[in-house]
Chains A and B, each alone.
Chain A
Amino acid sequence: MTSTFRRLRWLALGAGLLLLIALATWQLAPPPHERSSESFAGLGEAAGDYAQARPGTPLAFPADHGPHPDYRIEWWYLTANLEDEAGTPLGIQWTLFRQALAPPGARSDEPTDAPWASRQLWMAHAALSTPQQHLVGERFARGMSLPERRAQAGVTVSPFTAWLDHWQLESLAGESEDAFDHLRVSAQAEDAGQSFGYRLELEAEGPLVRHGDDGFSQKSADGQGSLYYSQPFFQVSGEIEIDGETRPVTGQAWLDREWSSQLLGANQHGWDWFSLHLDDGTKLMAFRLRGGGQSSDDPSGHYVSGSWITPEGELTALDGDMLHLEPLERREVAGRQVPTRWQLTVPERGLDIEVTARQAERWMDTAFPYWEGDVSVTGSHPGQGYLEMTGY
């Protein structure tokens, strides 16, 4: 079994969350340490009859901007580091997750006269971070195959729109451009009686980048992985709103697209993932899957990987020998010990930086909880970015 089993990386939230909400009693999941034998959000399940992410699968646009219903999980994951006119650092997250409940063939994806019957679930997260606050919203929907109108959630390729209810990521790009060259994102939600929202336009200043082996991002020594590309070059402008008060903002954003059918390995119980905008224009993606090992001979270690992206969009894959991630400091957040200061080194590139959470309190108290927040970067290559940590 072990050799066919996999692990996966970060992202993921989406996926199994739902499965687990489900949890037995419709209650929130028990804290992860009580289920340390399980992988985060159940992402370690076998791919079964789903399509498999394999090296050499060519990515094709704009088709691959759209959904891949034959894969178990998929997401459109946007984070942005913003500041208002007073220079206050702000952050937003907008994520749409798709999760298949049954493998292809088990159910038809074609429109039927049974609009509620669907094998796809959708989940969306929206968050807005200020130095004082972390506002989070969450929505769910079932896939619906409606021939004549927009369903509650979905993604269309042409024109590109990804939405759940009124939370929406849509393309404003012209016909000659890539759909992701020009996007608009909006969300409006309420957290503990406080309303918040944002409406931002994103202008890409670089190309799409394909992680790993031309878009196949390996997640374990066993060869399992996902299809993964990003648009990390967005310049952002727009406005955010808290309790009816709007503020104009500008900044940088990073959009991830990833899909897979095989998730974490049996020994992997979470991950730490970084997307960093360095001041010299370089973008750095790095992740560490905890447990599961760098090689199949060493299941106890961490699986580390990343991408070095030049301002021109040339991507170099980094493996565990080239990239080092070390937590420097832990803070108690929502009753858990979460690393909020890290050291990242890429000796080959002369990179030695400290990544610090702007605020420790960035806990996403969603159906399946995790940490996601804006970070500042100091050291050899200063900058800013986003950090996501799961399974704590």
Chain B
Amino acid sequence: MRMAALGVALTALLSHYRRHPGQLAMLLLGLWVASALWSGVQAINASARDSYARAESLFSAQLDRIERRDGQPVGLDAYLDLRLTGQPVSPVLEGRITLSDGSRLDVTGIDPLTLPLDSGFRTAGGDQSLTQFLQPPYLTRVAPETHARLWPSDESTPTADNGTPLPPPQVASELPPDLLIMDIAAAQALLGRSGPSHLLVAPDTEVALPEGLRRTQAVNLAAPGQLTDSFHLNLTAMGLLALVVGLLIVHAALSLTLEQRLGLLRTLRALGVSGRALVGLLVGELLLLGLLGGGLGLLSGVWLAKWLLPDVAASLDALYDARVGQALALPGYYWLGGLAVTFGGVITAGFGTLWRAARLDVLSLGRAQAWRGQFQRQLKRMAIAGTLAWLVALGLWGWLSQLPPAEGLALGFTMIAALLLGSALWLPPLLACVASGVERALRHRPLAQWASADLQLQLPRLSVAMMALLLALSANLGVGSMVGGFRLTFLDWLDQRLVADVYLSVPDRDTGEDLAEWLVAQPEVAALLPRSRAETTLNAAKGQIPSREVAVYGITPHPSLTAHWPLKAQLDTPETAWDAFTAGDALINEQLALASGLAPGDRLELASPTGPIERRIAAVYPDYGNPRGEVTLTQADVSQRFRTAPDSFGIILAEGSAATGVDTLRERINQRFGLGRDSVIDQRDLKTQATTLFERTFAITRALTVLTLGVAGLALLTSLLAQTAQRRAQLAPLWAIGVARRPLVATGLFQLGGAACVTALLAVPLGIALAGCLVAIINVAAFGWRLPLHVFPGQIAATLGLALGAALLAALWPAWRLWRTSPRELLTEFDTQ
């Protein structure tokens, strides 16, 4: 066929949208929304990955790390002693500064003269000489986005809150954001500390270390990319859900436009357009729509990502210590991938349409609404497919319960997807069933019976919108109860865990001893709970668990602590567990228990500077928000075996002095010991900070679910709008036989409200099941801790109300249109038929 003829045919096809601009708008809207949410999430992930890649290529991630076992800074003497015996270690001074504008930044001071030459430092760019780097006023190497934020103009000189200006900037695009790299001399002035905080050494170099130092191999340093995988998978799953819901709208709209163009298609076929050419034209149309909607979606996605990114970045920083830029970094694959996903979605959503167009029977002109006859068969197929999806979900559930809990993240999401899909597929048969049941039950109420029968006729098209509503509602319920449950549990846990009124971090051993002595003598101090930390290796037990790096935490089992500190699993009662702990047993956190399979009663072996130590596990404790495995021993035990001094004190204030005691104590400690203002931490501040962090983390999830629900409401509205004209033809006879417009409108609202109610009722158990999966599988795999399942009736009621409201709101516009339809128009319906 010639191009001109094809062009005419395409124009004829597209002319449909000129007559029905609403359908075009609905199609584009569906595509736009689906691709916006999806690409927004992907933009966040891509930016984060970019930041991680930069962090991982940084020299510090490629070199082995040498630290003191007690976590204190390594210090100048230890560094020089190593150098003078020929050990090729390089000093690093790390810390965090607060700028005078209140923003906090990481500072890494390095010594380029001793840094191993093959390390990534060289690759981290820069075009100025080493001399400038090493000499006043020094240089600050920063990522471009951080540079733009801190040095908005050439004249700006950001200043740390101790009054020291930052050295002049040098942009290095390979650096992760919010990190300032400078010479160790400059970092020392900025941070007010002199000795290195840790040392670096090339991975293949042997180093003889004194006992107090330990080396962590670069490969064992937790890479932010690995830690945060689960977080990003969660985001991706949310984005995927939004994409599916959006594509459901597209599917509904496409089915409608095809159906209304069946006559046109037949005419075109009869005029000699080949079936293949026709399908080709329809594909072209879809691609055009995909390009337009996808393009719009990508742009809005970027906007959405910009809006969400600060929260995401703050969460990742606080949860995993992973720095993510506040500015989007979008690689080329992001744009291409976004468009590809949209195209893929459009083609998938339009596949049914294309299939029917390809098999179009030129002669069957009489059955304009051809697909409705097939609906019964389609319902059966849906029921079968839905059952299959459920079976898959059930099978996965069975498999997951066999797997170690930490490994089921992707499978868990697959299971949830199967569960949701199965339920969505079951919705139309269920609705049909309910409608026909109601129809039989209301035999003696003709209008109601008609309404039920009519609803069954509407189902083929409504069902897709209802499926979207079901998915959105259950996701909303599931995520809502997970977030709500977490908040309850987490707040309790914080209360129990933060026993002391004040926490005081100790700069060094001597100050620590002086402080302890002084504090005990203070009248407002009721008890002093020293804490220590160390890093070590959990040795492999005979073939049972692999060796892993763990944190060792030393606490003081004072009654005020043991009475509250939450335990999750213990052999006997918490009291006996604490007795055993005081007598030398260990506690492990839930993350370690889940990852290693260790349980109370088992024995574990830790490497220590005084030789391997074996301990029985007395109990497991919840440790929300900690990505790492941790073993807790008594502080005295940790100090003795790991040769560390307390690094902080929990201070319990005497009755009655808690309210004013904190501030006066802080004042006096600062006066006497001159510790920085960050050393004394009020427990209340700590709680606020922790709560804010988690609120932020979940704000993202909730924002996404609310947006998804919005998409579903939109789907419903567009489906209804699309069939308004058609509905008129079916309502006209009723009107003609004497049913007034008011009951007609009310009937329509009831029909839709009823369908929405059934959908919402199905969404409740599905939402609870989803919440169950989230807390029992996804969270455990993603974060390493399990939450109790909480169900919030109030929240469920609110969601049901929201669904009903959305449905009625969506029905209102068509109802209003019907209300406004003049009798003359209704009469013309008979003319056209």
Given contacts A165-B84, A188-B86, 8 further A-B contacts (CB under 8 A): A19-B129, A24-B126, A25-B126, A114-B194, A116-B109, A141-B83, A142-B111, A149-B80
Q: Select one of B80, B83, B134, B185 contacting A121, CB under 8 A.
A: B134
Q: Select one of B86, B121, B131 contacting A22, CB under 8 A.
A: B131
Contact A151 B188 (CB under 8 A): no
Q: Is B668 an interface residue (CB 8 A)?
A: no
Task: Known A25-B127, A114-B189, A116-B111; judge A151-B194 contact (CB<8 A).
Answer: no
CB-CB nearest 8 A-B residue pairs: A22-B130, A166-B86, A116-B185, A140-B113, A22-B129, A26-B122, A117-B185, A116-B184
Q: Is A119 an interface residue (CB 8 A)?
A: yes
Q: Is B85 an interface residue (CB 8 A)?
A: yes
Q: Please give, as numbers and ranges, the residues of chain B lying within 8 Å of A113 by CB-CB distance.
A: 194
Q: Is A88 an interface residue (CB 8 A)?
A: no
The 15 sampled A-B contact pairs (Cβ below 8 Å) are: A19-B131, A21-B130, A22-B130, A22-B133, A25-B127, A102-B135, A114-B185, A116-B183, A116-B194, A117-B136, A141-B114, A142-B111, A142-B113, A149-B77, A188-B86
Smallest beta-carbon distance B132→chain A, Å: 8
Smallest beta-carbon distance B93→chain A, Å: 8
Q: Is A33 an interface residue (CB 8 A)?
A: no
Q: Please give, as numbers and ranges, the residues of chain B lying within 8 Å of A242 by CB-CB distance.
A: none
The docked-state distance in angstroms from the alpha carbon of A146 to that of B75 is 14
Q: Is A101 an interface residue (CB 8 A)?
A: yes
Q: Please give, as numbers and ranges, the residues of chain A lying within 8 Å of B76 by CB-CB distance.
A: 115, 146
Q: Please give, as numbers and ranges, the residues of chain B lying within 8 Å of A19 by CB-CB distance.
A: 129-131
Contact B129 A24 (CB under 8 A): yes
Q: Is A107 an interface residue (CB 8 A)?
A: yes
Contact B128 A24 (CB under 8 A): yes
The docked-state distance in angstroms from the alpha carbon of A22 to that of B77 is 28
Query: Which B residue sits closest to A151, measured CB to CB?
Result: B80
Query: Which B residue sits closest to A189, measured CB to CB?
Result: B86
A interface, CB within 8 angstroms of B: 18-19, 21-27, 101-102, 107, 113-119, 121, 140-142, 146, 149-152, 163, 165-166, 188
The docked-state distance in angstroms from the alpha carbon of A172 to that of B113 is 30
Contact A115 B134 (CB under 8 A): no
Q: Please give, as numbers and ranges, the residues of chain B lying within 8 Å of A102 by CB-CB distance.
A: 135
Within 8 A of A (CB), among B407-436: none
Smallest beta-carbon distance A368→chain B, Å: 12
Q: Please give, as numbers and ranges, the residues of chain B lying within 8 Å of A121 by CB-CB distance.
A: 113, 134
Within 8 A of A (CB), among B191-242: 194
Q: Please give, as numbers and ranges, the residues of chain A lying within 8 Å of B125 by CB-CB distance.
A: 25
Query: Which B residue sits closest to A24, measured CB to CB?
Result: B127
The docked-state distance in angstroms from the alpha carbon of A116 to that of B182 is 12
Q: Please give, as numbers and ranges, the residues of chain A lying within 8 Å of B128 by CB-CB distance.
A: 24
Q: Mark B605-628, 1 if CB is under 8 A from A, else 0.
A: 000000000000000000000000
The docked-state distance in angstroms from the alpha carbon of A54 to that of B476 is 85
Chain B residues with a Cβ closer than 8 Å to the other chain, count: 31
B interface, CB within 8 angstroms of A: 76-77, 80, 83-86, 109, 111-114, 121-122, 125-131, 133-136, 183-185, 188-189, 194
Query: Which B residue sits closest to A150, measured CB to CB?
Result: B84
Task: Known A26-B122, A113-B194, A116-B184; judge A18-B111 contact (CB<8 A).
Answer: no
Smallest beta-carbon distance A136→chain B, Å: 13
Contact B113 A141 (CB under 8 A): yes
Q: Please give, as numbers and ranges, the residues of chain B lying within 8 Å of A151 by CB-CB distance.
A: 80
Is the contact region of chain A dominated by helix, strand, or loop, or is it mixed?
loop
Give the one of A26, A101, A102, A121 with max B CB within 10 A. A26
Q: Please give, as numbers and ranges, the residues of chain B lying within 8 Å of A21 by CB-CB distance.
A: 130
The docked-state distance in angstroms from the alpha carbon of A146 to that of B189 is 17
Q: Select one of B130, B134, B189 contacting A26, CB under 8 A.
A: B130
Query: Which B residue sits closest to A123, measured CB to CB?
Result: B113
The docked-state distance in angstroms from the alpha carbon of A118 to that of B127 is 22
Contact A152 B135 (CB under 8 A): no
Query: Which B residue sits closest to A107, measured CB to CB?
Result: B136
Contact B135 A101 (CB under 8 A): yes
The docked-state distance in angstroms from the alpha carbon of A22 to that of B125 is 12
Contact B135 A119 (CB under 8 A): yes
Q: Please give, as numbers and ranges, the residues of chain A lying within 8 Å of B135 by CB-CB distance.
A: 101-102, 119
Q: Please give, as numbers and ranges, the residues of chain B lying within 8 Å of A141 by CB-CB distance.
A: 83, 113-114
Q: Please give, as numbers and ranges, the residues of chain A lying within 8 Å of B189 by CB-CB distance.
A: 114, 117
Contact A115 B129 (CB under 8 A): no
Smallest beta-carbon distance B134→chain A, Å: 6
Q: Please give, as numbers and ranges, the residues of chain A lying within 8 Å of B129 by CB-CB distance.
A: 19, 22-24
The docked-state distance in angstroms from the alpha carbon of A166 to that of B194 is 23
The docked-state distance in angstroms from the alpha carbon of A174 to that of B126 is 51
Give the one of B80, B126, B188, B194 with max A CB within 10 A. B80
The docked-state distance in angstroms from the alpha carbon of A155 to that of B185 is 22
Give the one of A116, A150, A152 with max B CB within 10 A. A116
Smallest beta-carbon distance A161→chain B, Å: 11
Query: Which A residue sits closest to B195, measured CB to CB?
Result: A115
Smallest beta-carbon distance B131→chain A, Å: 5
Query: Which A residue sits closest to B134, measured CB to CB?
Result: A101
Q: Select one of B83, B127, B134, B184 contacting A152, CB under 8 A.
A: B83
Q: Select one of A24, A118, A166 contacting B84, CB under 8 A.
A: A166
Smallest beta-carbon distance B476→chain A, Å: 53
Query: Which A residue sits closest to B79, measured CB to CB?
Result: A152
Q: Please give, as numbers and ranges, the residues of chain B lying within 8 Å of A115 by CB-CB distance.
A: 76, 188, 194
Task: Known A121-B134, A149-B77; judge A26-B126 contact (CB<8 A).
Answer: yes
Q: Please give, as numbers and ranges, the residues of chain B lying within 8 Å of A117 by CB-CB distance.
A: 136, 185, 188-189
Task: Known A115-B76, A141-B113; judge A101-B131 contact (CB<8 A).
Answer: yes
The docked-state distance in angstroms from the alpha carbon of A27 to that of B127 is 10
Smallest beta-carbon distance B94→chain A, Å: 14
Contact B194 A140 (CB under 8 A): no
Query: Which B residue sits closest to A168, measured CB to CB?
Result: B84
Smallest beta-carbon distance A381→chain B, Å: 40
Contact A142 B83 (CB under 8 A): no
Q: Please give, as numbers and ranges, the residues of chain B lying within 8 Å of A118 by CB-CB distance.
A: 185
Contact A140 B114 (CB under 8 A): yes
Task: Known A24-B128, A26-B122; judge A142-B134 contact (CB<8 A).
Answer: yes
Contact B130 A152 (CB under 8 A): no
The docked-state distance in angstroms from the alpha carbon of A165 to that of B80 is 8
Smallest beta-carbon distance A317→chain B, Å: 35
Query: Which B residue sits closest to A193, measured CB to CB?
Result: B204
Q: Please give, as numbers and ranges, the residues of chain B lying within 8 Å of A165 by CB-CB distance.
A: 83-84, 86
Q: Please give, as numbers and ranges, the residues of chain B lying within 8 Å of A23 by CB-CB distance.
A: 129-130
Query: Which B residue sits closest to A165, measured CB to CB?
Result: B83
Q: Please give, as numbers and ranges, the residues of chain A lying within 8 Å of B121 by CB-CB distance.
A: 26
